């Protein structure tokens, strides 16, 4: 699992290499995004950090996400190049 500090270091490296004004797209999920709802639709806080870490780790390791994003990039490039 990646921490926000590790993400910041990676972003700092990208800024150094590509420049501050380089375009990008980003999807960031944090512990605030890992929520459950009760029967009334109210948000229930998950207090067990291990559960949150496991959920986020599984999201990060999901190849379907990366494949879908890459397919979208290729589709968009094919439209632009035509």
For residue 15, is it within any domain? no
- CA 61, distance to chain mean position in Å, is 10
Its domain, for residue 60, covers 24-81
**What pLDDT sits at residue 80?**
87
- 16 class by beta-carbon count within 10 Å (0-12 exposed, 13-18 middle, 19+ buried): exposed
For residue 62, is it within any domain? yes
What are the pLDDT digits (tens) for 16-58? 999 999 999 998 999 999 999 999 999 998 989 999 999 999 9
**What pLDDT sits at residue 29?**
92
**What pLDDT sits at residue 21?**
98
What total of structural domains would you count in the chain? Answer: 1
* Residue 72 in this model has a pLDDT that exceeds 90: yes
Whether pTM exceeds 0.85: no
* Residue 69 in this model has a pLDDT that exceeds 90: yes
How many residues does the structure list for the chain? 82
For residue 44, is it within any domain? yes
């Amino acid at each position: 699992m990646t921490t926000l500090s590790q993400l910041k270091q990676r972003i700092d490296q990208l800024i150094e290499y590509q420049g501050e004004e380089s375009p990008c797209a980003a999807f960031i999920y944090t512990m605030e995004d890992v929520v459950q709802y009760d029967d009334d639709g109210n948000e229930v806080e998950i207090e067990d950090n291990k559960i949150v870490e496991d959920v986020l780790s599984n999201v990060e390791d999901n190849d379907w996400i990366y494949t879908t994003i890459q397919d979208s990039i290729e589709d968009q490039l094919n439209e632009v190049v035509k």
